[in-house]
Copies of this chain bind each other. A is one copy, B any other.
Amino acid sequence: MPPKSIQRTPEQKAPAAKATIADVAREAGVSKATVSRFLNHGDKLLSADIASRVESAIASLRYTPSPMAQSLKRGKSGLIGLVVADVANPYSVAVLRGVETACREAGYLVILFNISNDREREQEAIAALSSYQVEGFILNTSGYMPSKSRKPDHYGKPAVLVDRRHADMQEDFVSLDNASAMAMAVDHLVEAGYRELLFVTQPLSNVSSRIERETAFRNCIAGRTSKVNGASHENAEDDAEALEQALRRLVKPGPGTRRSRRPAIITGNAVMTLRVAAVAARLGLQLGKDLGLIGFDDAEWAPLIGPGITTIAQPTDELGRMAARCLIERIEGFNLPPRQILLSGRLTARGSTMQE
């Protein structure tokens, strides 16, 4: 057996060292500039003869331009920076999916930065991404830096916000239409005979989507001339205790109150839905009977918990795609005023909000 020399993949003669534009130029017997022209303007500026020579040289060398070098030269990179508040959050991930797809289809790649809900790191994320010459940002963050009490700097690059609005927002904004989604939820509950409503949310703490939903909820209640009661409960991460209290209070109203007022809960997102379902189970409350439940965000498990949980699904994939498209439009030069794109949710009725 002959001593095995340099490893080579079967179908590739040249060593792995990537071909550069200079190699192509040499192979085709032209200058680097000519090759560059072919790359950027096709055969518009070249004679047919030379164009084809360059073309076949590129093919035979399997040449691919280096985005890095291009980026350095042009100041643009084909990269889009995505900053996510928390990759553990299914919502973020669902959006991420749409974003990645749309970007790739448009020839961009996504660099991901997760800040694990640490607001202080938003600026760090943007800076890191920016140094990689990303051409724009998609932000699913609060946009608020407590310690600095100012907005993060976007380095003059376009950005689009998803789900979370920023103060004095100059950017495009893509989100669920929270007001009408909440209206759907309340209407649905009232129609099903529920009269004592509780909105349960994670702490509002400057997260615009939570605030919008809470506000919409109050408006819905206030707007009803009929006898619907409503209250909100902010539930901290670890405070199952408080949540249990709130449920107890909701279900077993004080003395002197008729029991004709059926109680129901609206949860602000899937996380809270799960928590409420857990507490309800612990208290022995039957969903759809002792307690109505409708939650923002649809999840695969929603049909399977108890009698099935009624949800308002967000068009997450579409939200992500929209965000990406907005950003790319701006990147490619259209200079539009800030837009707000509000997509509507879809209600799926299940056992947890049964008619009386």
Q: Find out whether the CB atom of A69 lies under 8 angstroms from the CB atom of B72.
A: yes
Mask of A300-336 contacts with B, CB within 8 angstroms, 1/0: 1101111000000000000000000000000000000
Mask of A130-145 contacts with B, CB within 8 angstroms, 1/0: 0111000000000000
Q: Does A340 have its Cβ within 8 Å of any Cβ on chain B?
A: no
Mask of A119-135 contacts with B, CB within 8 angstroms, 1/0: 00000000111011100
In angstroms, Cα B97 to Cα A94, docked, is 14
Q: Does A179 have its Cβ within 8 Å of any Cβ on chain B?
A: no
Contacts of A127 in B (CB 8 A): 64
In the assembled complex, how far is the CB of residue A58 from the closest CB belonging to chain B, in whole angstroms?
14
In angstroms, Cα B18 to Cα A77, docked, is 15
Q: Using CB atoms and an 8 Å cutoff, list the residues of chain A in contact with chain B.
A: 9, 16, 18, 64-69, 71-72, 77, 79, 87-88, 90, 93-94, 96-97, 100-101, 104, 109-114, 116, 127-129, 131-133, 153, 155-156, 274, 277-278, 281, 299-301, 303-306
Known contacts A132-B109, A299-B301, A304-B281; A97/B87 CB under 8 A = yes
Known contacts A64-B127, A132-B67; A87/B100 CB under 8 A = yes
**Contacts beyond the supplied A104-B113, A111-B111, A304-B305: 4 A-B pairs with Cβ under 8 Å:** A100-B112, A110-B111, A274-B304, A301-B301
Can you list 10 pairs linking A and B with CB atoms under 8 Å apart?
A16-B156, A66-B133, A68-B68, A87-B93, A87-B97, A93-B93, A100-B114, A274-B300, A274-B301, A281-B304
One complex includes copies of this chain to the number of: 2
In angstroms, Cα B16 to Cα A18, docked, is 35
In angstroms, Cα B131 to Cα A256, docked, is 73
Contacts of A301 in B (CB 8 A): 274, 299, 301, 304-305
Closest 8 CB pairs of A and B: A301-B301, A87-B97, A16-B156, A304-B305, A112-B112, A93-B93, A100-B114, A68-B71
Q: Find out whether the CB atom of A96 lies under 8 angstroms from the CB atom of B87.
A: yes
In angstroms, Cα B110 to Cα A305, docked, is 36
Contacts of A116 in B (CB 8 A): 101
Contacts of A109 in B (CB 8 A): 111-113, 128-129, 132
Contacts of A133 in B (CB 8 A): 66, 68
Contacts of A300 in B (CB 8 A): 274
In the assembled complex, how far is the CB of residue A150 from the closest CB belonging to chain B, in whole angstroms?
9
Kindly report which residue of chain B lies nearest to residue A155, judged by CB atoms. Answer: B16
Kindly report which residue of chain B lies nearest to residue A270, judged by CB atoms. Answer: B300
Contacts of A68 in B (CB 8 A): 68, 71-72, 77, 131-133
In angstroms, Cα B314 to Cα A341, docked, is 39
In angstroms, Cα B111 to Cα A114, docked, is 12
In the assembled complex, how far is the CB of residue A80 from the closest CB belonging to chain B, in whole angstroms?
10
In the assembled complex, how far is the CB of residue A116 from the closest CB belonging to chain B, in whole angstroms?
8
Contacts of A129 in B (CB 8 A): 109
Kindly report which residue of chain B lies nearest to residue A278, judged by CB atoms. Answer: B304
In angstroms, Cα B113 to Cα A79, docked, is 12
In angstroms, Cα B88 to Cα A129, docked, is 24
Kindly report which residue of chain B lies nearest to residue A271, judged by CB atoms. Answer: B300
